[in-house]
């Protein structure tokens, strides 16, 4: 999120003992190329600063960071990456709704579950109220 506009997203789905993760990043779209009917107002890096970028270096950087965090997680579990999550937690302190549970996002617990009003939620689509 940049200026309350969604620039990127992550979708994780668990199935048969594995988790598949999809990552999307809006890079060079113009305002006209972004959907007008999105639940959360969209943006791209280009609409934020009017700079058109070569996507290959962004992808390489993203994959490199993902690999470092994944390696740390596989070696040391969630504790190995937990402390770095809080500073980037967009949901903390915001009104959210997940699978019929509504309340204030309270970060992640040590099992990776989102806390909503102190209650752990393991999965579901998170909606944020602005």
Report the predicted TM-score, pTM, of the whole model to 2 decimal places.
0.79
Q: CA–CA separation, 113 vs 82, rounded Å?
A: 12
Q: Is the pLDDT of residue 60 over 80?
A: yes
116 by Cβ neighbours in 10 Å (0-12 / 13-18 / 19+) ranks as buried
Q: CA–CA separation, 20 vs 10, rounded Å?
A: 10
Q: CA–CA separation, 24 vs 38, rounded Å?
A: 15
Contact 55, 20 (CB under 8 A): no
Q: What is the pLDDT of residues 10-41, one digit of tens each?
A: 888 888 888 898 999 999 999 999 999 998 89
Q: CA–CA separation, 32 vs 3, rounded Å?
A: 18
């Amino acid at each position: 999120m940049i200026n309350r506009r969604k620039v990127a997203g992550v979708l994780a789905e668990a199935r048969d003992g594995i988790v598949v993760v999809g990552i999307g990043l809006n890079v060079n779209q113009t305002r006209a190329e972004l959907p007008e009917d999105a639940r959360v107002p969209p943006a791209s890096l280009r609409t934020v600063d009017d700079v058109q970028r070569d996507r290959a270096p962004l992808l390489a950087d993203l994959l490199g960071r993902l690999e470092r965090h994944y390696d740390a997680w596989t070696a040391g579990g969630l504790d190995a990456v937990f402390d770095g999550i809080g500073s980037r937690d967009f949901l903390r302190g915001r009104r959210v709704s997940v699978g019929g549970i509504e309340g204030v996002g309270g970060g992640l617990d040590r099992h990776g579950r989102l806390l909503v009003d102190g209650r752990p939620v393991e999965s579901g689509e998170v909606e944020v109220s602005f």
